[in-house]
Amino acid sequence: MAPEGTTTLTTLHPWAWWCWAIGIGIAVSGTTNPLLLALIATAMVVVVMLRRSSAPWARSVKAYLLLSLFVIGMRVFFQVLIGSGSGDTVLFALPEIPLPEWAAGIRLGGPVTAEGLVRTLYDALRLAVMLLCIGAANALANPRRALRSVPAALYEASVAVVVALSVAPQLIESAQRVRRARRLRGEPAKGLGMLSTVAMPVLGDAIERSISLAAGMESRGFARTRGLPIRGALPLMLVSVLCSVLGLFLLLSSTWWLLASSLLVAGLLGTAWGFHRAGRALRVTAHRPDSWGWRETLVGVSGIGAAVLVLALGWLDPSGGALHPSTDPLQWPDLTVAMLVVTALTLAPLLLTRARALQTVASVRHDTRVRSLRPQVQQELASR
């Protein structure tokens, strides 16, 4: 059967972007080398800038950058204020303030060492780049399309999410209508009293809307939930997911990493199989589904490859090596060939996709071709 979806070079399956970003994020979690982190962050930002769309979610990467800076700032603040003062190179000393008895062992202030500060900066930078990876996935993947490609067993839950996403703007409009009506009646719109007099009509409106929506959905065949269609797959899924939680617990709390990771992987595979079985029982079809082609596979593999490479390097050299440069004594971090490979894998989606064509908008005001002429026209007008 030929795939129904149309494939273009500019759109990638949203889950491919997520797979790539999570893979890079896992790779980042395995290193504190600031040079590698800076390279990955730059590559990430380049990919986002060149491949993002003009949709609202594509601007979210700025929020994640700010969050990253906040994380770095907060960690440095705590290190300076209540740092444990390891290392010998004292940069400066804050006045010490002893704390009462119940907070025994804690002192505010004291000497601030270069070693402690650099260590904190490395660790904070790692976290910041991990956040940036999540931000990149948010900016590149269309959340609504990602929602459409969830497993069929999650169909009903995704219907609830889609309802929520589409009703939310209508509710804002409804709140504005109620406030306008109150103003026309000359009622004061202030204080806590307003909260209940505006909130109740809006909520009542919302609930009435849900009843009529339910009627509409029922007439369009949404009410097919008779009994529990995923019943057969449920015990398998529950046992598998418990298995993976147990595996994770062992992975964190013991040294039996072989047993732990095989439990984890078995649990994940079992859950995936359970979802597949549950989905088959549901027979849900999608209209023009996003297709998963070789480009999606390669983008996903590049992310996972980066993760595997960094984790393997860390496993081969448990003492740290180039991935975890020493901060006590302070040392200039090294850059190895493997790290350049990780950076190249981060940049791989650039080769596999093409930049979006600039959108032509009906209004001349937003037409990019017209807008590009504007400075010229203004210059000509000015020179006249």
| Region binding another protein by CB under 8 A among candidate stretches 4-12, 35-43, 245-253, 329-337 | 245-253
Per-residue contact track with another protein, 50 to 69, x per CB under 8 A? Answer: -------x--x--x------
Residues 91 and 295: their CA atoms lie apart, in Å, by: 51
Nearer to another protein, 120 or 302 (CB): 120
The verdict on 228 binding another protein (CB under 8 A) reads: yes
DSSP-derived 3-state class of residue 93: strand
Burial of 310 (0-12, 13-18, 19+ CB in 10 A): buried
Q: How far is the CB of 36 from another protein (least distance, A)?
A: 15
Is 209 near another protein (CB under 8 A)?
A: yes
Asked whether 211 and 192 are in contact (CB, 8 A), the reply is: no
* Segment interacting with another protein, rule: CB under 8 A, options 33-41, 268-276, 342-350, 371-379: 268-276
CA distance 345 to 28: 13
Q: Which is nearer to another protein, 131 or 352 (CB)?
A: 131
For the segment 166-185, give every residue that binds another protein (CB under 8 A): 166-168, 170-172, 175
Shortest distance, position 226 Cβ to another protein, whole Å: 7
Residues 6+ apart with CB under 8 A from 297: 16
Site for another protein in 89-118 (CB under 8 A): 103, 105-107, 116
> What residues between 125 and 144 interact with another protein by CB under 8 A?
126-127, 130-131, 134-135, 137-139, 143
Alpha carbon distance 46, 255 (integer Å): 39
CB of 1 to another protein, least distance (A): 27
Q: If binding is defined by CB under 8 A, does position 283 make contact with another protein?
A: no
Q: Judged by CB, which is closer to another protein: 134, or 178?
A: 134
Q: Where are the alpha helices (DSSP H) in 151-233?
A: 155-184, 191-219
- Do 32 and 325 touch, CB atoms closer than 8 A? yes
What does the block give as tokens for 56? 């609202």
Tokens representing residue 233 in the block: 């797959």
Q: Does 154 bind another protein (CB under 8 A)?
A: yes
Least Å distance, CB 175 to another protein, is 8
At its nearest, how many Å lie between another protein and the CB of residue 336? 20
Q: For Cα atoms 72, 104, 101, give the angle at the middle one, nearest 5 degrees.
A: 125
Q: How far apart are the first and last CA of the chain?
A: 65
Is residue 344 a contact point for another protein (CB under 8 A)? no
We find the least distance from the C-beta atom of residue 347 to another protein, in angstroms, to be: 23
The two tokens of residue 332 are: 């200039």
Q: Which of 19, 24, 27, 30 binds another protein (CB under 8 A)?
A: 30
Q: Which is nearer to another protein, 109 or 293 (CB)?
A: 109
Task: Tell me if 90 sits within 8 A of 117, measured CB to CB.
Answer: no
Whole-angstrom distance, CA of residue 194 vs CA of residue 206: 18
Q: How far apart are CA 77 and CA 117, in angstroms?
A: 10
| Tokens matching residue 175 | 């709140």
Please pick, from the candidates 50, 217, 298, 341, the single residue that binds another protein as defined by CB under 8 A.
Answer: 217
Nearer Cβ to another protein, position 278 or 352?
278
